[in-house]
Amino acid sequence: MPEIPPPGTAPEAGGDDDAPPAVHHAAHPHREHARERFESLEAAAIAAEMETGRREETDAEARRSVVRRAVRIGAGIVVSAFGCLLLVLPGPGLIVLAAGLVILAQDVPFAARLLEKVRRRLPSDADGKIPKGTVVLGLAITVVTVGASLWWTFLR
């Protein structure tokens, strides 16, 4: 019957006890390749931000600017997608779409052009602003219909 080693000790592997355990770096070469690609992408983004950004002085400032830009673009995409959904669902679809495009327009040139087309379709007063009553009514319709849908689905 083989001996069972006491808890907390490693079983003997037959050989030199002083040898370090083998580390298998070659087991996941795609991870190393992905890490290298990410690092090169990050370095390129920081270099581009230093050249075209708002005059960042250090790599840390450029990195923060890249992160802010990525978060802004992500938020703009989410809000714009929600606005597109609201075009076919009850709610202020054009207003939410315009809000998403406003967020995106800071960083994405085509969003600014698309925003102008959306603004032409929005109801506006003489100053070109959206009346607050329109926004409130659209949000109220959204809340009522979403609430009714949730009630119908889960609570009735």
DSSP letter string, 20-85: PPP--GGG-HHHHHHHHHHHHHHHHHHHHHHHHSS---SHHHHHHHHHHHHHHHHHHHHHHHHHHH
66-105: pLDDT as tens digits:
888 889 889 989 988 988 888 887 777 788 888 888 888 8
Q: Which residue would you say has higher pLDDT here, 83 or 5?
A: 83
C-alpha separations of 156 from 35, 76, 140 in Å: 51, 36, 22
Burial 46-67 (b: 16+ CB within 10 A, else e): beebbeeeeebeeeebbeebbe
The pair of structure tokens assigned to 19 is: 């040898």
Q: Which residue would you say has higher pLDDT here, 50 or 36?
A: 36
Question: What pLDDT is attached to residue 143?
Answer: 81
**Is 102 within 8 Å of 115 (Cβ atoms)?**
yes
Question: What pLDDT is attached to residue 128?
Answer: 65
In one-letter notation, the amino acid at residue 37 is: R
The pair of structure tokens assigned to 49 is: 């931000």
126-137: pLDDT as tens digits:
676 777 777 777
Where in the chain are the domains?
40-155
Q: Which residue would you say has higher pLDDT here, 8 or 45?
A: 45
Distance CA 41, CA 39 (A): 5
Angle of helix 132-150 relative to helix 93-105, nearest 10 degrees?
A: 110
25 pLDDT tier (thresholds 50, 70, 90): low
27 pLDDT tier (thresholds 50, 70, 90): low
What is the overall mean pLDDT for the chain? 76
